[in-house]
Protein backbone atom coordinates (compact mmCIF):
# COMPACT_ATOMS: atom_id res chain seq x y z
CA UNK A 1 0.00 0.00 0.00
CA UNK A 2 1.38 3.36 -0.99
CA UNK A 3 0.86 6.02 1.68
CA UNK A 4 0.64 9.74 0.93
CA UNK A 5 0.69 11.90 4.05
CA UNK A 6 -0.66 15.41 3.52
CA UNK A 7 -0.54 18.50 5.66
CA UNK A 8 -4.32 18.84 6.04
CA UNK A 9 -7.80 18.03 4.69
CA UNK A 10 -7.50 20.41 1.71
CA UNK A 11 -4.31 18.78 0.56
CA UNK A 12 -5.85 15.31 0.88
CA UNK A 13 -8.74 16.52 -1.28
CA UNK A 14 -6.29 17.87 -3.86
CA UNK A 15 -4.21 14.69 -4.04
CA UNK A 16 -7.32 12.54 -4.37
CA UNK A 17 -8.86 14.81 -7.03
CA UNK A 18 -5.62 14.66 -9.04
CA UNK A 19 -5.75 10.86 -9.09
CA UNK A 20 -9.43 10.71 -10.08
CA UNK A 21 -8.86 13.39 -12.74
CA UNK A 22 -5.88 11.47 -14.16
CA UNK A 23 -7.99 8.35 -14.42
CA UNK A 24 -10.72 10.19 -16.33
CA UNK A 25 -8.20 11.93 -18.60
CA UNK A 26 -6.44 8.65 -19.44
CA UNK A 27 -9.70 6.73 -19.84
CA UNK A 28 -12.62 9.02 -20.77
CA UNK A 29 -15.10 6.17 -20.29
CA UNK A 30 -13.66 5.17 -16.92
CA UNK A 31 -15.80 3.32 -14.40
CA UNK A 32 -15.50 5.03 -11.02
CA UNK A 33 -16.44 3.56 -7.66
CA UNK A 34 -17.60 6.40 -5.43
CA UNK A 35 -18.02 6.93 -1.71
CA UNK A 36 -20.11 9.16 0.53
CA UNK A 37 -19.24 10.54 3.97
CA UNK A 38 -17.65 13.83 4.92
CA UNK A 39 -14.13 12.90 3.82
CA UNK A 40 -14.56 12.97 -0.01
CA UNK A 41 -16.65 16.18 -0.09
CA UNK A 42 -13.60 18.42 -0.72
CA UNK A 43 -12.40 16.12 -3.49
CA UNK A 44 -15.82 16.23 -5.18
CA UNK A 45 -15.78 20.04 -5.02
CA UNK A 46 -12.41 20.15 -6.78
CA UNK A 47 -13.54 17.66 -9.43
CA UNK A 48 -16.60 19.83 -10.12
CA UNK A 49 -14.31 22.86 -10.52
CA UNK A 50 -12.01 20.98 -12.88
CA UNK A 51 -15.02 19.90 -14.92
CA UNK A 52 -16.28 23.49 -15.09
CA UNK A 53 -12.84 24.71 -16.19
CA UNK A 54 -12.82 22.14 -18.99
CA UNK A 55 -9.93 20.15 -17.49
CA UNK A 56 -11.92 16.93 -17.21
CA UNK A 57 -14.94 15.55 -19.01
CA UNK A 58 -17.38 13.14 -17.33
CA UNK A 59 -19.56 12.70 -20.43
CA UNK A 60 -18.68 9.02 -20.87
CA UNK A 61 -17.85 8.16 -17.26
CA UNK A 62 -19.88 5.57 -15.35
CA UNK A 63 -20.11 5.43 -11.58
CA UNK A 64 -21.13 2.93 -8.94
CA UNK A 65 -21.58 3.93 -5.32
CA UNK A 66 -20.48 1.76 -2.45
CA UNK A 67 -23.65 1.69 -0.42
CA UNK A 68 -27.07 3.03 0.51
CA UNK A 69 -29.11 2.96 3.70
CA UNK A 70 -32.03 0.51 3.81
CA UNK A 71 -34.83 1.34 3.82
CA UNK A 72 -34.20 4.79 2.38
CA UNK A 73 -35.89 6.71 -0.40
CA UNK A 74 -33.61 8.33 -2.98
CA UNK A 75 -35.18 11.75 -2.47
CA UNK A 76 -34.64 11.73 1.31
CA UNK A 77 -31.90 14.26 2.02
CA UNK A 78 -30.05 11.65 4.09
CA UNK A 79 -29.90 9.14 1.23
CA UNK A 80 -26.58 8.53 -0.45
CA UNK A 81 -28.22 9.10 -3.85
CA UNK A 82 -29.20 12.59 -2.63
CA UNK A 83 -25.68 13.14 -1.27
CA UNK A 84 -24.07 12.21 -4.58
CA UNK A 85 -26.42 14.40 -6.61
CA UNK A 86 -25.83 17.36 -4.27
CA UNK A 87 -22.08 16.97 -3.88
CA UNK A 88 -21.06 15.85 -7.35
CA UNK A 89 -23.49 14.73 -10.04
CA UNK A 90 -25.49 18.00 -10.21
CA UNK A 91 -22.25 19.92 -10.76
CA UNK A 92 -20.58 17.87 -13.51
CA UNK A 93 -21.50 16.77 -17.01
CA UNK A 94 -21.98 13.09 -16.13
CA UNK A 95 -25.04 11.39 -17.65
CA UNK A 96 -27.20 10.72 -14.58
CA UNK A 97 -28.27 7.41 -16.17
CA UNK A 98 -24.64 6.31 -15.94
CA UNK A 99 -24.59 6.88 -12.17
CA UNK A 100 -25.57 3.87 -10.09
CA UNK A 101 -26.56 3.96 -6.45
CA UNK A 102 -28.21 0.95 -4.83
CA UNK A 103 -31.98 1.37 -4.49
CA UNK A 104 -32.71 1.80 -0.79
CA UNK A 105 -36.37 0.95 -1.37
CA UNK A 106 -35.80 -2.23 -3.39
CA UNK A 107 -38.58 -4.74 -2.66
CA UNK A 108 -36.14 -7.60 -3.11
CA UNK A 109 -32.85 -6.35 -1.64
CA UNK A 110 -30.99 -9.60 -2.43
CA UNK A 111 -31.87 -9.26 -6.11
CA UNK A 112 -30.98 -5.56 -6.06
CA UNK A 113 -27.53 -6.46 -4.70
CA UNK A 114 -26.94 -9.32 -7.15
CA UNK A 115 -28.02 -7.09 -10.07
CA UNK A 116 -25.64 -4.37 -8.88
CA UNK A 117 -22.60 -6.70 -8.96
CA UNK A 118 -23.70 -7.91 -12.39
CA UNK A 119 -23.97 -4.33 -13.67
CA UNK A 120 -20.44 -3.58 -12.44
CA UNK A 121 -19.13 -6.67 -14.25
CA UNK A 122 -21.00 -5.75 -17.42
CA UNK A 123 -19.49 -2.25 -17.30
CA UNK A 124 -16.06 -3.90 -17.37
CA UNK A 125 -15.35 -3.61 -13.63
CA UNK A 126 -14.37 -0.59 -11.58
CA UNK A 127 -11.22 1.20 -12.79
CA UNK A 128 -10.77 3.39 -9.73
CA UNK A 129 -12.50 2.93 -6.41
CA UNK A 130 -12.63 5.80 -3.91
CA UNK A 131 -12.99 4.71 -0.28
CA UNK A 132 -13.38 6.31 3.11
CA UNK A 133 -12.80 4.38 6.31
CA UNK A 134 -14.92 4.18 9.46
CA UNK A 135 -13.41 4.67 12.89
CA UNK A 136 -14.06 0.96 13.38
CA UNK A 137 -12.31 0.03 10.12
CA UNK A 138 -15.41 -0.44 8.01
CA UNK A 139 -15.14 0.10 4.27
CA UNK A 140 -18.52 0.81 2.71
CA UNK A 141 -20.82 -0.87 5.27
CA UNK A 142 -18.64 -3.94 5.73
CA UNK A 143 -18.55 -3.81 9.50
CA UNK A 144 -16.05 -5.61 11.75
CA UNK A 145 -17.27 -9.16 12.34
CA UNK A 146 -16.04 -12.74 12.58
CA UNK A 147 -16.58 -13.05 8.82
CA UNK A 148 -17.11 -10.66 5.92
CA UNK A 149 -19.31 -10.93 2.85
CA UNK A 150 -17.71 -11.14 -0.58
CA UNK A 151 -20.51 -9.70 -2.69
CA UNK A 152 -22.96 -6.82 -2.49
CA UNK A 153 -25.44 -7.61 0.28
CA UNK A 154 -27.82 -6.27 2.91
CA UNK A 155 -26.28 -5.75 6.33
CA UNK A 156 -26.95 -4.52 9.85
CA UNK A 157 -25.05 -1.42 10.96
CA UNK A 158 -23.00 -1.62 14.14
CA UNK A 159 -23.64 0.64 17.10
CA UNK A 160 -20.36 2.48 16.40
CA UNK A 161 -21.46 3.34 12.85
CA UNK A 162 -24.97 4.35 13.93
CA UNK A 163 -23.42 6.67 16.55
CA UNK A 164 -20.92 8.11 14.05
CA UNK A 165 -23.65 8.79 11.48
CA UNK A 166 -26.16 10.19 13.98
CA UNK A 167 -24.63 13.65 13.42
CA UNK A 168 -26.41 13.86 10.08
CA UNK A 169 -29.85 13.01 11.50
CA UNK A 170 -32.18 14.90 13.81
CA UNK A 171 -32.08 12.12 16.39
CA UNK A 172 -30.23 8.82 16.67
CA UNK A 173 -33.47 6.82 16.33
CA UNK A 174 -33.74 8.20 12.77
CA UNK A 175 -30.49 6.53 11.63
CA UNK A 176 -31.41 3.44 9.59
CA UNK A 177 -30.11 0.24 11.14
CA UNK A 178 -29.52 -1.55 7.84
CA UNK A 179 -27.84 -0.82 4.53
CA UNK A 180 -27.13 -2.31 1.12
CA UNK A 181 -23.41 -2.41 0.53
CA UNK A 182 -20.79 -3.66 -1.86
CA UNK A 183 -18.93 -6.61 -0.35
CA UNK A 184 -15.22 -7.00 0.15
CA UNK A 185 -14.71 -8.86 -3.15
CA UNK A 186 -16.84 -6.29 -5.03
CA UNK A 187 -14.41 -3.65 -3.72
CA UNK A 188 -11.19 -5.64 -4.19
CA UNK A 189 -12.08 -6.35 -7.83
CA UNK A 190 -11.45 -2.64 -8.58
CA UNK A 191 -8.27 -2.16 -10.61
CA UNK A 192 -7.03 0.68 -8.42
CA UNK A 193 -8.21 1.87 -5.01
CA UNK A 194 -7.65 5.12 -3.15
CA UNK A 195 -8.61 5.35 0.50
CA UNK A 196 -8.95 8.73 2.20
CA UNK A 197 -8.70 9.41 5.91
CA UNK A 198 -8.50 12.69 7.79
CA UNK A 199 -8.66 13.82 11.40
CA UNK A 200 -7.49 12.35 14.69
CA UNK A 201 -10.60 10.17 15.06
CA UNK A 202 -9.10 7.95 12.31
CA UNK A 203 -5.61 7.76 13.86
CA UNK A 204 -6.05 4.45 15.63
CA UNK A 205 -7.65 2.66 12.72
CA UNK A 206 -5.09 4.01 10.22
CA UNK A 207 -2.25 2.91 12.49
CA UNK A 208 -3.81 -0.55 12.58
CA UNK A 209 -4.30 -0.52 8.80
CA UNK A 210 -0.66 0.34 8.14
CA UNK A 211 1.01 -1.70 10.86
CA UNK A 212 -1.48 -4.41 11.79
CA UNK A 213 -2.26 -7.81 10.35
CA UNK A 214 -5.19 -8.73 8.13
CA UNK A 215 -8.27 -9.26 10.25
CA UNK A 216 -12.02 -9.22 9.76
CA UNK A 217 -12.06 -7.02 12.87
CA UNK A 218 -10.61 -4.30 10.68
CA UNK A 219 -12.31 -4.81 7.29
CA UNK A 220 -10.04 -2.18 5.68
CA UNK A 221 -7.07 -4.48 6.37
CA UNK A 222 -8.37 -6.66 3.49
CA UNK A 223 -6.99 -3.96 1.20
CA UNK A 224 -3.51 -5.23 2.01
CA UNK A 225 -4.01 -8.08 -0.48
CA UNK A 226 -4.68 -5.64 -3.34
CA UNK A 227 -1.67 -4.60 -5.39
CA UNK A 228 -2.70 -1.04 -6.23
CA UNK A 229 -3.97 0.79 -3.17
CA UNK A 230 -3.06 4.37 -2.25
CA UNK A 231 -3.86 5.61 1.25
CA UNK A 232 -4.12 9.40 1.31
CA UNK A 233 -4.31 10.81 4.82
CA UNK A 234 -3.56 13.98 6.70
CA UNK A 235 -1.03 14.27 9.52
CA UNK A 236 -3.75 13.99 12.16
CA UNK A 237 -4.87 10.60 10.89
CA UNK A 238 -1.32 9.36 10.33
CA UNK A 239 0.47 8.04 13.35
CA UNK A 240 3.77 6.31 12.76
P1 LIG B 1 -16.52 9.90 7.01
O2 LIG B 1 -17.07 8.42 6.87
O3 LIG B 1 -15.87 10.25 5.71
O4 LIG B 1 -17.75 10.73 7.27
O5 LIG B 1 -15.56 9.90 8.16
C6 LIG B 1 -16.23 7.43 6.39
C7 LIG B 1 -16.89 6.09 6.49
O8 LIG B 1 -17.65 5.85 7.44
O9 LIG B 1 -16.63 5.24 5.62
* Per-residue pLDDT reduced to its tens digit, 194-214: 999 999 999 999 999 999 999
Domain ranges across the chain: 2-234
Compute the distance between CA of residue 107 and CA of residue 114 in angstroms, rounded to an integer.
13
Q: Residue 240: what pLDDT?
A: 63
Instruction: Name the pairing type of β-strands 62-65 and 31-34.
Output: parallel
Q: Kindly report the CA angle at 222 between 142 and 120, in degrees rounded to 5?
A: 65
Compute the distance between CA of residue 113 and CA of residue 67 in angstroms, rounded to an integer.
10
* Per-residue pLDDT reduced to its tens digit, 117-146: 999 999 999 999 999 999 999 999 999 999
Compute the distance between CA of residue 32 and CA of residue 44 in angstroms, rounded to an integer.
13
CA of 201 to the centre of ligand 1 (A): 10
For 92-130, b/e burial (b = at least 16 CB within 10 A) is: bebeeebbbbbbbebeebeebbebbbeebeebeebbbbb
Mean pLDDT of the chain: 97
For residue 10, pLDDT over 70 is answered with: yes
* Per-residue pLDDT reduced to its tens digit, 77-112: 999 999 999 999 999 999 999 999 999 999 999 999
Q: Write the burial class of residue 171 (CB in 10 Å: 0-12 exposed, 13-18 middle, 19+ buried).
A: exposed
Whether residue 143 lies in the annotated active site: yes
| Strand, coil or helix: 129 | strand
For residue 228, pLDDT over 80 is answered with: yes
Whether residue 138 lies in the annotated active site: yes
CA of 158 to the centre of ligand 1 (A): 14
CA of 80 to the centre of ligand 1 (A): 12
Cis preceding linkage at 71, omega within 30: yes
Q: Residue 22: what pLDDT?
A: 98
Does domain 2-234 fall into CATH 3.40.50.720? no
Q: Residue 239: what pLDDT?
A: 75
With the most atoms of ligand 1 within 8 angstroms of its CB, the residue from 36, 140, 166, 182 to mutate is: 36
Compute how many other C-beta atoms are within 10 angstroms of the C-beta atom of residue 225: 10
With the most atoms of ligand 1 within 8 angstroms of its CB, the residue from 38, 65, 184, 231 to mutate is: 38
* Per-residue pLDDT reduced to its tens digit, 37-58: 999 999 999 999 999 999 999 9
Whether residue 145 lies in the annotated active site: no
* Per-residue pLDDT reduced to its tens digit, 150-188: 999 999 999 988 999 999 999 999 999 999 999 999 999
Chain-centre distance for alpha carbon 21: 16
Residue 132 in contact with ligand 1 by CB distance below 6 A: yes
Q: Which residue has the higher pLDDT, 240 or 66?
A: 66
Compute the distance between CA of residue 77 and CA of residue 205 in angstroms, rounded to an integer.
29
List the one residue out of 136, 128, 102, 158 whose CA is nearest residue 40. 128
Which atom from ligand 1 is nearest to the alpha carbon of 39?
3
Which atom from ligand 1 is nearest to the alpha carbon of 199?
5
Q: Show the beta-strand stretches assigned E in 120-228.
A: 128-131, 153-156, 178-181, 192-197
Q: Which one of the listed residues 65, 103, 138, 165 is annotated catalytic?
A: 138
CA of 71 to the centre of ligand 1 (A): 20
CB 214 within 8 A of CB 225: yes
Whether residue 103 lies in the annotated active site: no
For residue 233, pLDDT over 80 is answered with: yes
* Per-residue pLDDT reduced to its tens digit, 55-71: 999 999 999 999 999 99
Q: What is the dihedral of CA 168, 15, 186, 121, to 10 degrees?
A: 120
Amino acid sequence: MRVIVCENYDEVSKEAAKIVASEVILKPNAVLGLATGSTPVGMYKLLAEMNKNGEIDFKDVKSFNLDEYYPMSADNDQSYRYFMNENLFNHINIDINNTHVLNGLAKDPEKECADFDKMIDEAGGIDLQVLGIGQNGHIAFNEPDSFLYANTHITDLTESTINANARFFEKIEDVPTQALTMGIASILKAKRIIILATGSSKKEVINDLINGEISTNNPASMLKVHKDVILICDKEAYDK
